[in-house]
Amino acid sequence: MPEGDTIHKLARVLGPALAGAPLESVATRARRGAVLVEHGAMTVRRVSARGKHLLIALEDAAGRAWRLRTHLGMYGTWHQYAPGAVWHKPQHQAWAVLRLADRVLVCFHPRELAWQLLSEGRADPERLDARVGPDLLDATVELDEVVQRIRTNCDPARPILDVLLDQSLAAGIGNIYKSEVLFLQGRYPLTPVGAITDRDLLDIYCDSARLLRRNLKPGPRITRARAETDEYLHVYGRGGQACRTCGTPVERALLGEHLRATYWCPSCQPGNLDRPRDHQ
């Protein structure tokens, strides 16, 4: 699943290319196996990101406002092609096709796609509001409010790794940042959130927001203060390798509500694991 910075960078790339651009046609697929439905010519009004959702605001010839929302999940991608070029993936995997005079943009097998005529109601915006918490890449985000949101909505026994991945609490942290920020904070991944003080919880989210903002620039994702070539991360993807800080082998296990791969240093992030470890 892409981190929040990936979607914001995608919006930054697509925004200048699409904002105000006339689309010769727009087509979307409502679900897997459904046919692509043509919606006619449109004009792009704005491209933005909210957490892991890419939002494209459009207007049709009658002046009606539409919105295309995509969540890429683990396997979704946006591709750009010249008109008439052969696509790298089969057409039945395309869920959205935006055709301009000089290019074609295609979204392949996203986790989720919503196409809505906004003037007919706010069902989808309201659903998004309920599912997506404050965006950590929003310049106006109040991290103290994120901490209070967690205290109000979370069982104190819930592990911190699951809290960080819960996009309804704060949007943007993915599996990479989860492991990296917990390492930077010296926090064992299965620590109950109730055992973490408000001050320390705020520090975790401050670090998360800092790393997300740092990685909005082009190039590889980097979480280390000074990173050598191909050594950009502290622990993620480094199971069994020496911790860059203390030399202890980095641990890897499938942890949390969704059994996501989690990496940590048992010396820098002490704690007890009550299940078998996986060094793959």
Let me know if 158 is a catalytic residue: no
Task: Please give the biggest Cα pair distance in the chain.
Answer: 64
- Check if the beta carbon of residue 108 is closer than 8 Å to that of residue 119: no
Let me know if 3 is a catalytic residue: yes
Let me know if 59 is a catalytic residue: no
What is the spatial distance between Cα 172 and Cα 58, in angstroms, rounded to a whole number?
24
- The residue from 52, 178, 187, 252 that is catalytic is 52
- The residue from 3, 69, 134, 159 that is catalytic is 3
Backbone region of residue 2 per phi and psi (left: phi > 0; alpha: psi in -120 to 50; beta: other values): beta
For residues 125, 100, 31, 54, the Cα torsion angle rounded to the nearest 10 degrees is: -40
- The residue from 29, 50, 69, 260 that is catalytic is 260
Let me know if 2 is a catalytic residue: yes
**Residues designated catalytic:** 2-3, 52, 260
